[in-house]
Chains A and B, each alone.
Chain A
């Protein structure tokens, strides 16, 4: 007779225990961006809501940026770094296919026994990470999980490309997720639409660049209107589904924290969700730009520390981007 193996046992629920973020020091104005593209401050403000953004220093790496945010989240969580069982880093800008940014980060922050891996889901990456961490905590494969969204997009964006240069920026946000006696992370609604791979992609692969050269190192290429259309139509449906699955109405929300893609996408989503006027909406893009996987935790941290939203309130988070990947869930704010 075959012996029976034991099954892992986890916590009844998971929650976000803390959040931390890091915005690089250098402020870059629209005027500075317009030195390399044919555009104006007015156009950029109107089409994206961005007034300024942050760029990392040339010698600041993705892991450096991630570490700055992660250390704040760990310090605020009340647990020790060596209690972390898994480190998940959502990023598409770590310049090494291997080893992962997560393995380096785990070592640097002192998560000595943690498993570690990166998530490649672009602007949806943070919400993917929260959902995966929740499943780990509930499934018993990790008691505490560090989830970081981090990007240094300036390494992968062509500063002379007027369809992307003014949008993307650098930054990091992190949360620690651990056990909870009560539900504090709602069911995730997620997916990826590979049929629209070309909506946000790279100008060429790294291996094509190596073999064929060409004038330009691979950079991000985006079909702005296609992305806008998809985000506004499909993401509203996804956001509503996340509310329904959490058994929450929009009226119960203390905050709406969408990926900071473009203020115009946020405005359109707020309209089509018929979000009640009393619900604060994250508009961090104005001074941070679009930091892809980092934008939601950076915005969350800012809304909490400014007192705009209460600790313990309910927030609807939704990430969406290249893939086209998306994920949404309702969370209790730390």
Chain B
């Protein structure tokens, strides 16, 4: 698990939804644990696309249930 991607994602989630950076941990589910709704999720995805230059299609977004899922996806996409 890339700590760098996790840290970057935590900053994005904080900026979009005001969730404290330290709460953004791999085992946390975006919607159920971090209270991020589907529209904030779209914003998080767009910010991640910008930051890491990856493409996360709409069809993939619903598979990114936890923060760990997103880190893994970005890691693979940038590898």
Contacts and interface: CB of A to CB of B under 8 A. Distances in A.
A305 interface: no
A46 B42 contact: no
A233 B46 contact: yes
Interface string A250-273: 000000000000001000100100
B32 interface: no
Contact of B38 (A225, A233, A268, A271): A225
A229 interface: yes
A271 to B, nearest CB: 7
A228 interface: yes
Given A229-B42, A229-B46, A268-B43, A47 B37 contact: yes
Interface in A261-295: 264, 268, 271
B15 A232 contact: no
A98 to B, nearest CB: 38
A232 B38 contact: no
A46 B58 contact: no
Nearest to B15: A271
Contact of A46 (B16, B37, B43): B37
A39 interface: no
A229 B15 CA distance: 17
A163 interface: no
Nearest to A47: B39
A232 B37 contact: no
Contact of B46 (A46, A232, A264): A232
Contacts of A271: 15-16
Interface residues of B, number: 9
Contacts, number: 21
Contact of A226 (B15, B39, B58): B58
Contacts of A46: 37
Contacts of B43: 232, 268
Contacts of A264: 39
Interface in A46-91: 46-47
A46 B46 CA distance: 20
Contacts of A232: 42-43, 46
A232 B41 CA distance: 13
A39 to B, nearest CB: 14
Interface string B12-52: 00011000000000000000000001110011001000000
Given A233-B46, A271-B15, A228 B39 contact: yes
A47 B39 CA distance: 8
B12 to A, nearest CB: 11
Nearest to B46: A233
21 contacts: A46-B37, A47-B37, A47-B39, A225-B38, A225-B39, A225-B42, A225-B58, A226-B58, A228-B39, A228-B42, A229-B42, A229-B46, A229-B58, A232-B42, A232-B43, A232-B46, A233-B46, A264-B39, A268-B43, A271-B15, A271-B16
Interface of A: 46-47, 225-226, 228-229, 232-233, 264, 268, 271
Given A225-B38, A225-B39, A229-B46, 17 more contacts: A46-B37, A47-B37, A47-B39, A225-B42, A225-B58, A226-B58, A228-B39, A228-B42, A229-B58, A232-B42, A232-B43, A232-B46, A233-B46, A264-B39, A268-B43, A271-B15, A271-B16
